[in-house]
Amino acid sequence: MKLFAVLILTFSAWAQVADDANKGYKTKEGRDKVAATLDDPHRDGRQKPQELIAAMNVKPGMTVADIGTGTGYMLPFLGKAVGANGKVFGEDIQVDFLERAKAKHVPNAELILGTVTDPKLPPNSVDIALVLDVYHHFDYPDKMLQAIRGSLKPGAHLVIVDYYKSASPSPGHIRAERDDVAAEIEGNGFHLLSKRDHIPNTQYMLTFEKTK
């Protein structure tokens, strides 16, 4: 098992491990097509955002980071859940996505332009970091996880929601199975607290806290 974890960590340190998943994001035309799916008015029925927020145990006054927010789909739901005294960071590496997210007009949301290795969140500021349908897009998961770790308050949670490999939107899009993802994250300074289905047979949810 230790050798398996080492192999995972070695693999995650290689550059651009998500190159296949990110092909559609390399042009403006490609990102516009992705944006159309992210803003699909029927997405609520598939994504179940309210159920996700309840499962994450989001409370008023919290600071929640939506890492890889895309066009800001989750921002209105998160903004309402944390309330006027809470805050939401919406981070993405694509400027055009953030422009679309800005148009959602969520008053307690702050948009952040991150990089492929760092979401640029303020240190020790986040109660819950959400990575929704985004972990498989991390080109440098080890570096991203270390940066996310530094942004979390003591006792804060990292929540990963992603597709089972068998439910991949396209062949090769999802690089790792759920338990491999969990092992990779635990190898980068986190402890797995729980795992469950979010959408049965489609998406799983992993909740972590950072190790001391």
Q: What is the pLDDT of residue 173?
A: 87
Question: Cα angle at 7 between 198 and 154, to 5 degrees?
Answer: 55
Pairwise CA distance, residues 34 & 92, whole Å: 14
**1 has pLDDT over 60:** no
Give the confidence band of 212 by pLDDT, cuts at 50, 70, 90. Answer: confident
State the residue for tokens 């006027």. 84
Give the confidence band of 16 by pLDDT, cuts at 50, 70, 90. Answer: confident
- Domain of residue 70 covers 2-39+46-210
Of the chain, the percentage scoring pLDDT greater than 90 comes to: 74
CA distances in angstroms from 68 to 73, 138, 166, listed in the order given: 10, 9, 22
Which tens digit of pLDDT belongs to each residue from 161-176?
999 998 987 777 899 9
Any idea what the CATH number is for the domain that residue 135 is in?
Answer: 3.40.50.150
Count of domains for the chain: 1
Which tens digit of pLDDT belongs to each residue from 137-153?
999 999 999 999 999 99
**82 has pLDDT over 80:** yes
